Amino acid sequence: MKKQSPYLFKLANSPHEFEQIHQLNYETFVEEIPQHEKKEERALVDSFHQQNTYLIALKDQTLIGMVAIHDNRPFSLDKKLGSVERYLPVHSSKICEIRLLSIRKEYRKTKVFIGLMRMLYQYFIQHGYTLAIISGTTRELKLYKHMGFLPFAHLVGQKGAFYQPMYITKEIINQSKNLYHHQVSFLPGPVEINHEVKSALLQDVIPHRDQKCYELMKSVQNKLCSLTSSTYAQVLLGTGTLANDCIAAQLSLLGEKGLILSNGEFGERLISRADRFKLSYSSLRKKWGGIFYEDDLLEVLEEDIKWIWYVHLETSTGVLNSMDMISSFCQKYGLKEIVDSISSIGALPLQLKNVYLASGVSGKALGSLAGLSFVFHNYPIQPSLQLPPYLDLGEYFKKRSIPYTHSSYLLSALDAALSVEFRERYIQIKNLYSNAYKKLNEEGFSILTDSKNGAFPILTVCIEDLSSRMLGDLLKGQGYILHYESDYLLERNWIQIATIGQITLDEMNKMIDLFTALYHYLKSERADSIMGS
């Protein structure tokens, strides 16, 4: 049975789409609603066309619905009423006008209308509007009121084509569960936080020298150590960059040579950090997406190498470097193991009981707010006068991880986030990844790593013959936020799908269906453009 093509909702951006917009505009506002004179060419270019952004619905490359939005004054209603602010019962800092809502007759009792409205409201929220106005045809006042629009001023227009000026506010849109489609994040971080974490943020602030703050810190440390099988965890007020800087500072005290592994952006950042701290090291680089094997390590192992520093989950590619293999190698040759586990903690079972040092953060798979990072270790660390105080792990160890001002809000949120059942989270993340990999693979997409070497939290799609930014922007316009805007991804035309957020299987499937449909539509548009030129 042939798979039915879905409706596509997107911003109009091609000559072929604009031609169809002018035709539908004519059919609706000349032939159906007698608002303009008839023309032989049966096309009507709107007087605000150059200012309009058109949100359109497509079926098999045919335009079946549209709506336009713009914020250039004067609005069409300004010309009919004078300044609309005189009539509006509420003040607004940023107003837009919505016009030209039109759906072909055969699609009016389908999901086209609700899809257009959801995309329209998504656009409204993303662009910071606080109020929108429309000229609602008197034929559909009941529908507009159901959408949340409220009437103001008097009727405008002419016999056979009367319109009621109406408005809607940001507050009304946010309360409309039927029409406002909340964003679904497929980013590797930050993630949407759950109710328990949000509730923790409502607690009163605790001064960082209060005994309750130390008790809260101890609770967080115990949960982190239990989750990772490590002995100690120092909690820092800062991002993962700070945690890795603290690790580099600690390595600088050893006076030993090490080996740094790199097969992506974050491996390169370890190398850059080692240079800044003037560490003695050799590097083993693989192409982005490449896999490290024990033989690779043996080839570069030198007698004076005493430690290995690597990224567990290489966020930039979605490759999971084998901790089991590298840990066994380090134990076999008496090397200190240092791990960047920033993207893997909370997403995968993590055993850090044998590592020398490891880094992590609060704002990714752990599901808390960004702003805290961790350094795990399995031995006591003494302060050192050779290091800047804020980078001295010994100071954190000595002062129970609160040597300086800390945030009880962030600690409370993290403590709540660490109370979930992570075994269930691991299964959910793996299932979402497997489902996404299977569906995209069946559709013929190029996935950077195979399912064996991929990391369950992150899947990287290599976009061919199209702009990854364009595809990502279109998905964002419909409420699906994928990872594509980082420079290292744009350079390679990659899009990433992370499965660590508050995502349901249904949301994942809907996103992939839209991802696939938009990709094929854009490819067909590009092919038509090339042939036309």
Q: Which DSSP string corresponds to 317-340?
A: TTEE--HHHHHHHHHHHT-EEEEE
Give alpha helix (H) positions in 334-421.
Answer: 393-398, 408-417
Token pair belonging to 491: 């350079």
Q: What angle do CA 165, 124, 107 make, to 5 degrees?
A: 75
Share of the chain above pLDDT 90, in %: 77
Sign of CA dihedral 294, 300, 306, 310: negative
Mean pLDDT computed over every residue of the chain: 92
Q: Does domain 185-191+422-527 have CATH number 3.20.20.70?
A: no
Pick the CATH number of 195-417 from 3.40.50.620, 3.30.2130.10, 3.30.470.10, 3.40.640.10: 3.40.640.10
Mean pLDDT of 262-287: 98
Question: 358 by DSSP, 3-state: which?
Answer: strand
Q: Taking 50 as the threshold, does the pLDDT of residue 529 lie above it?
A: no
Cβ-contact 179, 148 below 8 angstroms: yes
- Rounded Cα distance between 149 and 370, Å, is 37
CB 57 within 8 A of CB 7: yes
Beta strands in 321-470 (DSSP E): 336-340, 357-361, 372-377, 446-447, 458-462
pLDDT value, residue 532: 46
CA distance 219 to 24: 62
Assign domain 8-179 to its CATH architecture. Answer: 3-Layer(aba) Sandwich (3.40)
- Over 70: is that where the pLDDT of 259 sits? yes
As beta bridge partners, residue 158 has 161
Element (H, E) at 343: none
CA distance 505 to 502: 10
Cα–Cα nearest to 205, from 371, 406, 416: 406
Under the banding of pLDDT at 50, 70 and 90, the label for residue 2 is very low
The predicted-structure confidence for 295-315, as pLDDT tens digits, reads as follows 999 999 999 999 999 999 999
Check pLDDT > 90 for residue 122: no
- Terminal Cα-to-Cα distance of the chain (whole angstroms): 36
How much is the pLDDT for 252? 98
Six token digits for residue 466: 């199209």
Asked whether residue 533 carries a pLDDT value surpassing 50, the answer given is: no
Tell me the per-residue pLDDT of 207-258, one tens digit each, with 9 for 90 and over. 999 999 999 999 999 999 999 999 999 999 999 999 999 999 999 999 999 9
Residues 233-245 have pLDDT tens digits of 999 999 999 999 9
The answer for residues whose C-beta is within 8 angstroms of residue 84's C-beta and 6 or more apart is: 75, 77, 78, 95, 133, 153, 165
What are the structure tokens assigned to 209, written together? 């020298």
Contact of 443 with 306, CB cutoff 8 Å: no
Q: Are strands 257-262 and 281-285 parallel, antiparallel or unpaired?
A: parallel
DSSP 52: -
Q: Where are the domains of the chain?
A: 8-179, 185-191+422-527, 195-417
Interaxial angle between packed helices 505-532 and 422-442, expressed in degrees from 0 to 180 and rounded to the nearest 10: 30
Pairwise CA distance, residues 410 & 217, whole Å: 10
Give the pLDDT band (50/70/90) at residue 49: very high
How are strands ordered across the β-sheet holding 494-498?
Answer: 446-447, 458-462, 494-498
Question: Tell me, what DSSP letter sits at residue 183?
Answer: -
Q: How far apart are CA 58 and CA 64, in angstroms?
A: 6
